[in-house]
């Protein structure tokens, strides 16, 4: 374990380090972890493959690290990278996002990357506890970024895992240079907001509480802004602070160091996630049997997924019906990155129609709210799947 992590990080990285056997670096956010992984492992100017169904900060982190994002072909089953359709020409790195905790064909993707000398970075923000067989996600590539604001609901915090000790030392040194001073107001907000969110969900306060949660910033909603693509393209140097405006979306303190209160809260919330594991798995099993559930969920019904993706025809109507029952829909990533940003920031992928279809029809359901949501979910119809030509 890198010497410069310090003893105070041990309790925060221990759960993931123990499960994976990798070297851990504690961070204020998973998005900072992705940036550090790119900087530590990938040469500037390289083309990095990623799914267009993704959080925009994955794209921003790659651009800030001096990389050229390329949109990957995606599977209509789970919006992860369709390995069989990838054009590997000039690809130097891949970031594999385990959307909603689904690992896709990460084993096949890892084998291809290893054979071709391509750096594989796993985005495990949604996959804090997911295993593929006996193997934990995050162990297939050279690095993996985990979020503590998803499963653990800690408000902020992340862990970067790296296979090589030297890479972990480099990442930790870069982290220390980039960290800003702790923010008392920010620390209070990231501790209080998750607790308020839990109260809103537990009391089933439905639409009025959901509107209040959004107003207070407890739940962020995605807003597309065409000016961002123009502004990002105008940033002429690879310097993370120059990208703060965009990297801060939904997490203003993404590189603010954590004080004692925030660290204790993050550690406690990780223990909460472990205690909730059985409930989460029970919810996944309940939802796995629905005809509209994404097919890979059925093979992962024993995993504590962050969300269970359903593919439904009238998604917006379903969201409103769920809100009336006090079930809130979050973690929607729409439109796809190449639609939202396009050239010159991204190179288009070969299956834009699949990515667009997925983002229009996916309904991610929190497995902890599965029982409450079932009366609505049982009434939903599946959409017509997009036609996908056979790979050459």
- Please answer whether residues 54 and 61 qualify as being in contact, where contact means their C-beta atoms are separated by less than 8 angstroms: no
What's the pLDDT at 297?
A: 98
In a domain, 386, yes or no: no
Whole-Å CA distances, 289 to 73, 300, 316: 27, 12, 22
pLDDT at residue 223 in the model? 52
Residue 146's region, left for phi above 0, alpha for psi from -120 to 50, else beta, is: beta
Considering the domain architecture, whether residues 87 and 121 belong to the same structural domain is answered as yes
Find the CATH number of the domain harbouring 91.
Answer: 3.40.640.10
Tell which residue, 282, 336, 276, has the closest CA to residue 58: 336
130 and 196 belong to one structural domain? no
Query: What distances in angstroms separate CA 373 from CA 187, 255, 306, 323, one per listed residue?
Result: 33, 36, 15, 9
Question: With contact defined as beta carbons under 8 Å apart, do 97 and 80 qualify?
Answer: yes
Q: Write down which residue in 205, 234, 259 finishes a domain.
A: 259
Verify that 274 and 254 share a domain, yes or no.
no
**155 and 282 share a domain?**
no
Q: What is the pTM of this model?
A: 0.91
Same domain, 356 and 243: no
The answer to the question of residue 122 being in a domain is: yes
Whether 127 is covered by a domain: the verdict is yes
* 340 and 243 in a common domain: no
User: Which tokens in the block code for residue 14?
Assistant: 């221990």
Contact between 148 and 156 under an 8 Å Cβ cutoff? The reply is yes
- Gap between the Cα atoms of 390 and 392, Å rounded: 6
Which has the closest alpha carbon to 122: 149, 93, 79? 93
Report the distance separating Cα 238 and Cα 66, nearest Å: 5
Alpha-carbon distance of 350 to 153, in angstroms, equals 35
Please confirm whether the linkage preceding 196 is cis (ω < 30° from 0).
no
Number of neighbours of residue 382 by Cβ within 10 angstroms: 14
Please count the other Cβ atoms lying within 10 Å of the Cβ belonging to residue 87: 13
User: Do 274 and 360 sit in the same domain of this protein?
Assistant: yes
Q: What is the pLDDT of residue 273?
A: 94
Which phi and psi (to 5°) does residue 391 adopt? -65, 145
**331 and 213 fall within a common domain:** no
Distance CA 38, CA 238 (A): 12
Token pair recorded at residue 123? 């985005």
Length of the chain: 392
Distance CA 13, CA 160 (A): 9
pLDDT at res. 189: 76
The last residue of a domain, from among 259, 285, 304: 259
**Is 392 within the bounds of a domain?**
no
Distances (CA, A) of 244 to 170, 174, 256, 265, 389: 21, 16, 11, 25, 40
How many Å apart are CA 20 and CA 18, to the nearest integer? Answer: 6
Whether residue 42 is found in the same domain as residue 164:
yes
Residue 249 and residue 269 in one domain: no
Instruction: Please list the pLDDT of the chain residue by residue as tens digits (392 residues).
Output: 334 445 678 899 999 999 999 999 999 999 999 999 999 999 999 999 999 999 999 999 999 999 999 999 999 999 999 999 999 999 999 999 999 999 999 999 999 999 999 999 999 999 999 999 999 999 999 999 999 999 988 889 999 999 999 999 999 999 999 999 988 777 777 777 776 767 666 666 555 655 655 555 545 444 555 567 667 777 755 678 989 988 988 777 899 999 998 999 999 999 999 999 999 999 999 999 999 999 999 999 999 999 999 999 999 999 999 988 888 898 999 899 989 888 788 999 999 999 999 999 999 999 999 999 999 999 999 999 998 765 54
pLDDT tens for residues 287-312?
Answer: 999 999 999 999 999 999 999 999 99
Give the domain-ending residue among 178, 198, 214. 178
Q: Are residues 361 and 312 in contact, defined by beta-carbon separation less than 8 angstroms?
A: yes
- 276: containing domain: 264-377
Among positive and negative, which fits the CA dihedral 300, 118, 141, 240? negative
Per-residue DSSP letter, 72: P
Same domain, yes or no: 133 and 18: yes
* Contact (CB, 8 A) for 200 and 214: no
Integer Cα distance of 160 and 278 in angstroms: 25
Pairing of strands 308-311, 362-365: antiparallel
What pLDDT does 209 receive? 56
The pLDDT of residue 210: 58
Helix (H) or strand (E) holding 152: none
Q: Which of 222, 206, 170, 163 is nearest to 323 (CA)?
A: 206
Please tell me the total count of domains within the chain.
Answer: 3
Q: What is the CATH number of the domain that holds 269?
A: 3.90.1150
| Residue 103 sits in the same domain as residue 150 | yes
């Amino acid at each position: 374990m890198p010497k410069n992590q310090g003893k105070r990080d041990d309790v925060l990285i221990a759960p993931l380090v123990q499960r994976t056997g990798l070297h851990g670096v504690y961070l204020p956010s998973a998005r900072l972890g992705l940036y550090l992984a790119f900087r530590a492992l990938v040469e500037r100017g390289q083309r990095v493959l990623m799914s267009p169904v993704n959080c925009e900060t994955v794209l921003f982190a790659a651009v800030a690290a001096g990389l050229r994002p390329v949109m990957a072909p995606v599977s209509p089953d789970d919006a992860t990278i369709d390995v069989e359709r990838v054009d590997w020409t000039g690809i130097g790195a891949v970031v594999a996002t385990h959307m909603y905790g689904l690992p896709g064909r990460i084993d096949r993707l890892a084998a291809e990357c290893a054979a071709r000398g391509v750096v594989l970075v796993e985005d495990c923000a949604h996959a804090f506890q997911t295993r593929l067989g006996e193997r934990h996600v995050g162990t297939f590539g050279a690095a993996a970024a985990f979020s503590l604001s998803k499963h653990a609901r800690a408000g902020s915090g992340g862990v970067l895992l790296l296979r090589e000790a030297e890479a972990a030392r480099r990442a930790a040194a870069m982290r220390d240079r980039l960290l800003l001073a702790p923010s008392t107001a920010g620390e209070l907000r990231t501790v209080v907001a998750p607790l308020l969110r839990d109260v809103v969900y537990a009391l089933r306060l439905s639409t009025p509480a959901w509107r209040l949660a959004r107003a207070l910033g407890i739940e962020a909603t995605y807003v597309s802004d065409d000016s961002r693509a123009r502004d990002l393209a105008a940033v002429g140097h690879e310097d993370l602070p120059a990208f703060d405006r965009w990297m801060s979306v939904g997490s203003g303190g993404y590189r603010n160091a954590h004080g004692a209160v925030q660290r204790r809260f993050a550690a406690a919330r990780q223990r909460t996630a472990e205690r909730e594991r059985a409930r989460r798995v029970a919810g996944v099993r309940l939802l796995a049997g629905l005809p509209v559930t994404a097919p890979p969920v059925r093979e992962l019904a024993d995993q504590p997924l962050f969300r269970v993706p359903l593919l439904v025809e009238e998604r917006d109507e379903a969201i409103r019906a769920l809100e009336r029952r006090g079930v809130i829909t979050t973690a929607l990533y729409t439109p796809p990155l190449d639609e939202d940003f396009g050239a010159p920031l991204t190179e288009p992928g070969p299956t834009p129609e699949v990515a667009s279809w997925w983002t229009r029809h996916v309904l991610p359901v929190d497995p902890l709210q599965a029982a409450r949501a079932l009366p609505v979910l049982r009434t939903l119809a599946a959409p017509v799947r997009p036609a996908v030509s056979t790979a050459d």
